[in-house]
Amino acid sequence: QVQLVESGGGLVQAGGSLRLSCAASGGTISSYYMGWFRQAPGKEREFVAAMRRDGGTTLYADSVKGRFTISRDNAKNMVYLQTNSLKPEDTAVYYCAAAGDLWWSKATMRAVYAYWGQGTQVTVSS
């Protein structure tokens, strides 16, 4: 029921920042657990960050903790991923995902998210 569209990707140099956006329609962000995943060429889609429905609790992959921040603006029905201190290994297609409910311990698993955006490309040059 909820549709997700990512934007904000682009080409940046190592050490730079990008703010990725996820616009939701057909449903309200506050009703969903939200996640960000990424997939680099030749690799599996991997967990990046997640947020509970109320936005009060977040979870990050060790590889991005301290550099990336997931947030949401309920008034705009938007979810964001602020990416700082970008590294070449952050290069990937970044996907926004939503789940109506999940076990928090399973928030890093792709299969628990029923709704996905089309992805936005982030390329970090060295």
For residues 19 and 112, what is the distance between their CA atoms, to the nearest angstrom?
Answer: 25
Of 88, 79, 70, the C-alpha closest to 11 is: 88
Q: What is the mean pLDDT of residues 21-42?
A: 96
The four Cα atoms 120, 124, 125, 126 give a dihedral, to 10 degrees, of -170
Tokens of 11: 């080409």
pLDDT exceeds 90 at position 19: yes
Q: What is the mean pLDDT of residues 88-117?
A: 97
Looking at residue 11, its amino acid is L
- Mention every residue, 6+ apart, whose C-beta is less than 8 A from residue 47: 35, 37, 61, 107, 108, 109, 110
Structure confidence by residue, pLDDT tens digits, 49-90:
999 998 889 999 999 999 999 999 999 999 999 999 999 999
Average pLDDT over the chain reads 96
Residue 44 has phi, psi (to 5 degrees) of -70, 155
pLDDT for 108: 97
pLDDT for 56: 84
Q: What is the mean pLDDT of residues 23-33?
A: 95
Tokens of 94: 């970044």
For residues 52 and 9, what is the distance between their CA atoms, to the nearest angstrom?
Answer: 24
